[in-house]
A and B are shown apart, each in its own frame.
Chain A
C-alpha cells in the first residue's frame, strides 16, 4: 500500500535535516504505529507524505500503490487515497463544516472521474457517520473547527476520514488532548474503518491509544530514522521502560 524508501527530508528554509533515511512499508489491511521521542521526525513524516510546503525531499521515494506521492500536489495525493488526520486541525471561519465536507468529497470524486454525490446521498451518509462519532447537527453547521473543543476537532477529523474513504490513513497524534472517553470514541471510529483494502499509520507518543487501536506492527523512530520495528509488545516495552533502553540497545 504505502512504500517509503530511504526518505531524506530537510527544512526548506534552513539547512537542517529532519528525516535521514526512513524505510517503511505499510501493507493493505494493516495498522502500523510509529512511536518515538519528541523531535524524532514523526510529524514531519506525516506532513511530507501529505504534501505540506516548507520541506525539501533530498533523497528517497514514497509510493502509494506504486504511484510516487512526492511528485503530486496535496489534492492529487488526497484523490489517490491519502488522508492525514491532523495533530492540530485548522480552524476555517466562514466555511461551514458541511459545505467543506461536501466540496472535498466531490472534488475527490471529480479528480477520479466519478460523478458528484447527490446532496440527498451526501446528507444521508454524513448523518449516519456523524451519529456514530456523536457529532450533532449543530457541529456540522458550524464553521470548520471554529469553537470546537480538542475532542470535537479530533472527532471531526475522523468524520472527514469516514466520508472521504481513503486507502491510506495517517493519524498524527490523534490522541493528544483527548480524555479517555473521547479517545475511545475516536478509536472506535478508526476501528470501524479498518478493512482489508486500507492501511493505517498511527503516530503516537503513548501506548494508551494502541490499547484501543491494536497495531500489527510498531516502529520506533529516533533522529529521523526507524531504529527498531516489532510487534505490539514493543509499544508495551516503551510504556514500561521509556525510550532510553531501546536507544542504548540500538547504539550499542
Chain B
C-alpha cells in the first residue's frame, strides 16, 4: 500500500516548506503572545523592576476598582454604539448612490475612499485644526449663526468629535465593500420588482437591504472590532483628555503598559477588552446572523 505516497510526501514536504516562515512569525507574534498575555495578567509585571511576583487575580480586581478603567470602558462602549450604526448606514447609503451609475463615479469613489487610505495621523492632525476654536467647523457654524466651542478641549464634545472623525475616515472603505455587494445583485431582480410595481423605496428595503445582509454583517463586525480598539485618534488628538473624557480601553492599555510600565495590569485590561469584543461578536452572530433564511 505504498502507492502514490511519493506524491503525498512531496506535497507534505512542499506544504510545510511553504508555510514554515508564516508559521514561525505567526507563532512568535500571535500564538505565543496570546497565551503570554493571559500569563502576565496574573503577575505584577513591571518593565523596570526585575522582580515579577505572581499576584493572582489582583490585577483584575484592581481594574474593577479603577475609576479610570470604568470610564474607559464606558467611553469605548459609547464610541462603538455611536459610530457603528451611523457608519454602516452612511456607507450603505453612499454605496447606494454610487450604484446609480451616475457620471463622475470614478471621481466620487476616489473622494470617498481618500480618507480611508490616508494615515490616521494625517486625518487626525487635520481634524485637530478643524475642531479648534478658530477652526473650520466653528467658521462654518458661525455662517449659520451658531456659536461653536473648542471641540476637543470641551469634555462634553471631545469624544463625540473623535467619533465623527472615525465615521468620516472609514465610511469610504465600507462603502466600497457595500458597493461590491450591491453590484452582485443581478439587475433582473430589480427589473422583476419594477414589473411587480415596487417603488424605489420598496426596492431598497425589500430587495437591496435583505440581499446585502451578509455584507452588512461583515461591515458591522469589522466596524465593531475597529471601534473597540480605537487608539490612534485618541492618542494623537486628545491623549485621553480632557479629564479622561476620551480615554478608551486601548488607550488605557497603552498608558498603563508603556507609560507606567505596568505590563501585567495593562495585559489584564487588554484581556477584558478582548473578552468584550468576543462577547459582542458572539451576540451579533447569535441575534443578527449574516443569513437568516
Question: Are A and B part of the same complex?
Answer: no
